[in-house]
Chain A
Amino acid sequence: MSSLSTLAKTSDRAFPFAAELMGVLSIAALGVLGFLLFPDDLAFLTRLIGITLLVLSLDLVTGYCGIATLGHAALFGVSAYAVGNACIGGIREPILLLGVGIVAGAITGAISGALITRFRGLPQLVLSIAIGQLVAALANKLSSVTGGSDGLSGITPDPVLGLFRFDMFSRTAFAFSLIVLAVVFVLLLRFVRSPFGLLCRGIRDDDLRAQMIGAVVYPRLVIMYAVSGAVAGVGGALNAMTAGVVGLDSVSFERSAEVLVMLVLGGAGNLWGALFGSVVFQIFEHIVSATNPFHWMTLVGLLLIAIVLFAPRGLSQGVVVLWSKVFRRGGRP
């Protein structure tokens, strides 16, 4: 990560918005690539983008603040249900629905963050699982709001900007999601390099040291959790709007665990890592599960073991190391 941030810094001086431009171009390129690879399966790519937002959201708390959580799907799911209900209740404007998701996610994030960041280490992890399970149980029981195990269906948002109808081939859904992802990614690139983002990384490195420079740690972590919730909320909102249904899977423990795996795969503490981890994992899973429906989990497991062995700090760091070896730039910045 250090070498990545240094790369970003050197390019910073050459051109002030280099990192942001890089972000937009990369996501556009990924979008085009996805469209070429899976032209008939834009629904899959749209779902992938929703989950990618959840992985980015997880990176904010786990990667940048060092908070271990296995309940992050709760933020995604609550927003998805909130957006679903809002849409059924009459708010059909997609941008407005995104706003509903952001607010719902931020509130859920602030509340769960206020609890989770009170603790450290294993108690923190267990608490995050407990919150995740609580939300999952509520989603199952409150069937008047969530549709229970049948899921919440009948979510039909209006055309985007009144022009682009959500079509059955998911073209609008895909383009809309991709643009939203690009906007969020660029904002986050800026956010993690801000003084606030730097302080969060400092808190992750050494909590007591952060206090000893005069920083009050707890409220910072709660704010970060709320921001993370807002990002997860964007993902949840996109998921609800583009799929038209919200199911129990969106708050499930498996979802929480899977996004953590994607983050570790790509490299925590680095937005690019979160982005690539999520994309690589989901495409791999998509292809392998289609070609070998019985043993695909085994192959996913093997992939993870290979990553941990050969690039323990994630794909993104592995690429950086490989890059510097190939071009003989040396390890030190």
Chain B
Amino acid sequence: MTDLLALDKVSRAFGGLRVNENISFRLAPGDRVALIGPNGAGKTTLVNVISGGFAPTSGTLHLEGDDITRLNIPARVQRGLVRTFQVTRLFATLTAADNVALAIMQRRGLTRRFFSAATNAPEVRTEWEQLLGTLGIAHLARITVSQLAYGQQRLLELAIGLALNPKVLLLDEPAAGVPHDEAPKILEAIERLPADIAVLMIEHDMDLVFRFAKRVLVLANGRLIFEGTPQAVTADPEVRRAYLGSYADARRPA
């Protein structure tokens, strides 16, 4: 079985509202997949179902062949299923370094240590220094997150995701809210992600989608209406009607 992540007929309803219906797709190692669709199509709900925030109403999820449908969030993260958030969620009173160090220590099982000094363990330190360096925010290591600019916080969010050594990385609009001049940094960071991991990215910015994705999934009204190459997606009449008609509106103001 070469699939890293497999969704089979996954549905999620809130009361009578069916937000995701019968969604099936596969992610293989090295995949770069964009998930697009109009607002309210159920993209973020789908990411929540995959990451464990919501249990699916029906359907199954498999990670590397194991059924993870009933696993909670931490158990999925420990198996390498990692997500970032559309609106940054960071440890606001900790420094940038501590944010990343905490993720590293959690991954390495060090957070059960009660008396060693936290961020100064050499192996942890080299790792966060390197990660922050790769994302170009090493100079911010000692600054408290709440004092960072939003674009810097987005990069840090990515750094935390990477610190967890993901096999599957779900990026929920990684460039959302990032000032125009900082957006290229995010894109560069995404392009430099380890080649063997599978990345699923929700994105509105079609330029970014075309640059990043080898495959595009289109979600509309909770259903997967298209799966194919970025070139094919623009030609598909149903996608044009459901989504790309509003392409111009969906582009972020400069």
Q: Which residues of A contact B (CB under 8 A)?
A: 1-2, 6, 9, 12, 16, 187, 190-191, 193-199, 201-202, 204-206, 208-217, 220, 269, 332-333
Q: How far is the CA of A37 from the CA of B229 in the complex (A)?
A: 80
Cross-interface CB contact of A211 among B73, B102, B120, cutoff 8 Å: B73
Evaluate contact between B102 and A2: CB separation under 8 angstroms.
no
Check: B83 CB closer than 8 A to any chain A CB.
yes
A191 interface neighbour in B53, B112, B114, Cβ under 8 Å: B114
**Contact, CB under 8 Å: B119 / A212:** no
Whether B111 pairs with A2 at a CB distance below 8 angstroms is: no
Closest B-chain residue to A217, C-beta based? B74
B91 contacts A by Cβ under 8 Å: yes
Known contacts A212-B51, A212-B77, A6 near B107 by CB under 8 Å: no
| Chain B min CB distance to A17 (Å) | 10
Q: A211-B73, A215-B106, A216-B74 in contact; A201/B91 too (CB < 8 A)?
A: yes
B 26-76 contacts with A by CB, 8 A: 51, 53, 72-74
Q: Closest approach, in angstroms, between the C-beta of B144 and any C-beta of chain A?
A: 4
Tally of chain B residues near chain A (CB < 8 A): 43
CA distance A197 to B113 in the complex (A): 9
By the criterion CB–CB under 8 Å, are A332 and B147 in contact?
yes
CB atoms of B74 and A198 under 8 A apart:
no
> Which residues on the A side are within 8 Å of B91 (C-beta)?
201-202, 205-206, 209-210
B94:A201 contact, CB within 8 angstroms = yes
A-B contact pairs, 26 of them (CB 8 A): A1-B93, A2-B93, A16-B117, A187-B115, A190-B115, A190-B117, A194-B116, A194-B117, A196-B112, A198-B94, A198-B102, A198-B118, A199-B111, A201-B91, A205-B90, A205-B91, A206-B92, A209-B85, A209-B90, A212-B73, A213-B107, A214-B74, A214-B106, A214-B164, A220-B111, A333-B144
Judge whether B92 and A333 touch: CB under 8 Å.
Answer: no
- Provide the bound-state CA to CA distance between A208 and B160, in Å: 14
Residue B103, interface by CB 8 Å? yes
Instruction: Contacts A2-B144, A205-B92, A332-B147 given; indicate if A194 touches B118 (C-beta within 8 A).
Output: yes
